């Protein structure tokens, strides 16, 4: 397939969107600018690191590549709008089904979240598949929720069970934009992050950005039901990563508000923000948590 044919085939799958004044076909896209702030996030997914190309259907690779960025928009409390899809395709005879599968996974999820595919880049080479997506979004009217607003006395919540994502959850998880909006419609959220590297690592980001520490209750941490090894499940929940649930903090007033509210799905109160101490993370008996989640080495 030629580059032009590939772009035309992508263009034919893409739907119009009110905030995309000019989409695929020119040197740049033209987006309607918002009077308020705009969210922008980018993520690159690679064969062998984030998925295994021969083992995973291309549509699921495409789905995951967009879903991880929707999750980052959710983590700021926003609504996604326009995606830019960069493909680096391995040069083989059978690349057409790969590209079509990738795009069908991307387009199906984009439609579900009312996201426009506003542009991208198409390349081929002799190396493995790489998919990189940049996604814009609109923050909630309360403003973007940052990692930096947690205060001692706040409660820490997660939006779903953790650990064991490698079975298939990392490919088919539901990014939490709807829940984030539901929560923000009810109450301010003092800090939030999505769990891509594991609670142990991602909650530490909230702690360092907010200059606080966090105490976790081991009894309260929800596990994904596929984790059968009882002796390692706490460690797995903290470190496996790719849960793509949200972790957020609420002040006592927010906790009261949510107690009275009926949410569309359960949330889990897993700990408390405390004054900054020598360890960012500890259990509620005071022992330090030394586990760390996923980290790329350079």
Ligand X SMILES: Cc1ncc(C[n+]2csc(CCOP(=O)(O)O)c2C)c(N)n1
Binding site for ligand X (CB under 6 A): 49-52, 166, 170, 196-197, 241-242, 294
**Residue 155 CB, nearest approach to ligand ATP (Å):** 22
| Block residue for tokens 């799905």 | 265
**Residue 60 CB, nearest approach to ligand ATP (Å):** 18
202 annotated among ligand-binding-site residues:
no
Is residue 197 at the binding interface for ligand ATP, with CB under 6 A as the rule? yes
| 151 or 205: CB nearest ligand ATP | 205
The secondary element (H helix, E strand) that includes residue 252 is helix 252-260
**Residue 66 CB, nearest approach to ligand X (Å):** 13
56 Cβ neighbours under 8 A, 6+ residues apart: 171
Q: Kindly state the DSSP code that residue 140 receives in the 8-state scheme.
A: -
**Residue 197 CB, nearest approach to ligand X (Å):** 5
Q: Kindly state the DSSP code that residue 85 receives in the 8-state scheme.
A: E
The secondary element (H helix, E strand) that includes residue 31 is strand 30-31
Residue 126 φ/ψ, nearest 5 degrees:
-90, 0
| 30 or 52: CB nearest ligand X | 52
120 annotated among ligand-binding-site residues:
yes
**Residue 72 CB, nearest approach to ligand X (Å):** 9
| Block residue for tokens 């879903």 | 67
Alpha helices in the chain (DSSP H): 3-13, 58-75, 95-112, 169-172, 177-186, 199-210, 233-239, 252-260
Q: Which entry of ligand ATP, ligand X, Mg ion, none binds 47, CB below 5 to 8 A by partner kind?
A: none
Is residue 245 at the binding interface for ligand ATP, with CB under 6 A as the rule? no
225 annotated among ligand-binding-site residues:
no
| Among positions 47, 59, 60, 72, the unique one binding ligand ATP when judged by CB under 6 A | 72
> Using CB under 6 A, which residues numbered 30 to 59 contact ligand ATP?
43
Q: Whole-angstrom distance between the N-terminal and C-terminal Cα of the chain?
A: 35
Contacts to ligand ATP by CB under 6 A: 43, 68, 72, 196-197
């Amino acid at each position: 397939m030629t580059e032009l044919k590939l772009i035309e085939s992508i263009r034919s799958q893409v739907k119009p969107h009110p905030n995309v004044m000019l989409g695929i076909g020119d040197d740049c896209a033209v987006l309607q600018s918002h009077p308020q702030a705009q969210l922008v996030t980018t993520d690159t997914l690679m064969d062998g690191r984030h998925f295994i190309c021969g083992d995973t259907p291309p549509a699921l690779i495409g789905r995951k590549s967009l879903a991880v960025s929707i999750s980052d928009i959710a983590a700021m409390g926003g609504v996604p709008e326009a995606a830019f899809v960069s493909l680096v395709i391995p040069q083989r005879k059978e690349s057409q089904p790969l590209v079509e599968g990738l795009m069908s996974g991307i387009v199906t999820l984009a439609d579900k979240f009312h996201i426009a595919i506003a542009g991208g880049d198409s390349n081929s080479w002799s190396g493995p598949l790489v998919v990189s997506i940049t996604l814009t979004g609109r923050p909630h009217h309360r403003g973007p929720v940052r990692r930096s607003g947690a205060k001692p006395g706040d409660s820490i919540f997660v939006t779903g069970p953790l650990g064991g994502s490698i079975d298939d959850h990392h490919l088919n998880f539901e990014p939490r934009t709807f829940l984030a909006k539901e929560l923000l419609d009810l109450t301010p959220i003092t800090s939030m992050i999505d769990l891509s590297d594991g609670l142990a690592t991602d909650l530490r980001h909230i702690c360092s950005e907010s200059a606080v520490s966090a105490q976790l209750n081991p009894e309260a941490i929800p596990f994904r039901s596929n984790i059968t090894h009882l002796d390692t499940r706490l460690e797995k929940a903290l470190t496996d990563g790719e849960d793509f649930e949200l972790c957020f903090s609420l002040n006592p007033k927010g906790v009261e508000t949510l107690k009275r509210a009926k949410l569309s799905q359960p949330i889990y109160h897993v700990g408390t923000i405390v004054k900054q101490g020598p360890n960012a993370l500890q259990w509620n008996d005071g022992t330090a948590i030394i586990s760390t989640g996923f980290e790329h080495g350079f």
